Amino acid sequence: MIKKIFIVILSIYSIQFFSNNSYTVEPNEILENQKQELRARNISKNIRCMICQNQSIDESNAPLAKDLRILIRNKIKDGKKDEEIYKFLTNRYGDFILLKPAFKFNTLALWLLPFIFAVIGIFIVFSHNKKSKKI
């Protein structure tokens, strides 16, 4: 009997340990409408917790993260669109609150430089290859 209980407890813990999609949404926060809840989760995953800055509010235990999760859900219930919710948050906390930076004029370098560097890299490799073949 004790062995069985032990196995059950162990398996529960191992599920928790191995599952990657850990989140901190508390049961009473979850919306009844599954579609709405999914939208809320998707938005929360892209919103930075301003207190623990490398976590999304979906993962963070900070009180402000909880407040924002509830606020997002209330806005969804009120029939607000995703863009409206993002705009509400960036108006208050700036673009920094978005974990995925917006494609804007001042983030152009951020988005385009990797491609430019890749092209330069390919060019260097090819030209180097040509030279070494000649020798």
Partner 1 sequence: MKKKLLIIPSILFLSILLTFFYLLIIERDPSAIPSNLLDKNIPKFETESLLRKERFISSKEFGNEIILVNFFATWCLPCRDEHIYIKRFSNEKGIRVIGINYKDNSKKTIQWLKNLGNPYSNVPIDKNGRIAIDWGVYGIPETFIVSSKGIIKYRHIGPVTEKIYKKINLLIKEIE
Q: Tell me which residues touch partner 1 (CB under 8 A).
A: 50-51, 53, 63-64, 67-68, 71, 90-94, 96
d(CA 40, CA 89) in angstroms, rounded, equals: 14
- Report the nearest approach of partner 1 to the CB of residue 9 (Å): 36
- Report the nearest approach of partner 1 to the CB of residue 63 (Å): 7
Lookup: tokens for 9: 């407890």
- Report the nearest approach of partner 1 to the CB of residue 48 (Å): 10
* Residue whose CB is less far from partner 1, 30 or 98: 98
SS3 for 76?
helix
Exposed/middle/buried for residue 69 (C-beta within 10 Å: 0-12, 13-18, 19+):
buried
Lookup: tokens for 87: 């705009």
* Residue whose CB is less far from partner 1, 14 or 74: 74
* Residue whose CB is less far from partner 1, 15 or 135: 135
Nearest CA among 43, 64, 47 for reference residue 56: 47
Nearest CA among 111, 9, 96 for reference residue 46: 96
Please, which residues bridge with residue 47 across strands? 98
- Report the nearest approach of partner 1 to the CB of residue 94 (Å): 4
* Residue whose CB is less far from partner 1, 35 or 92: 92
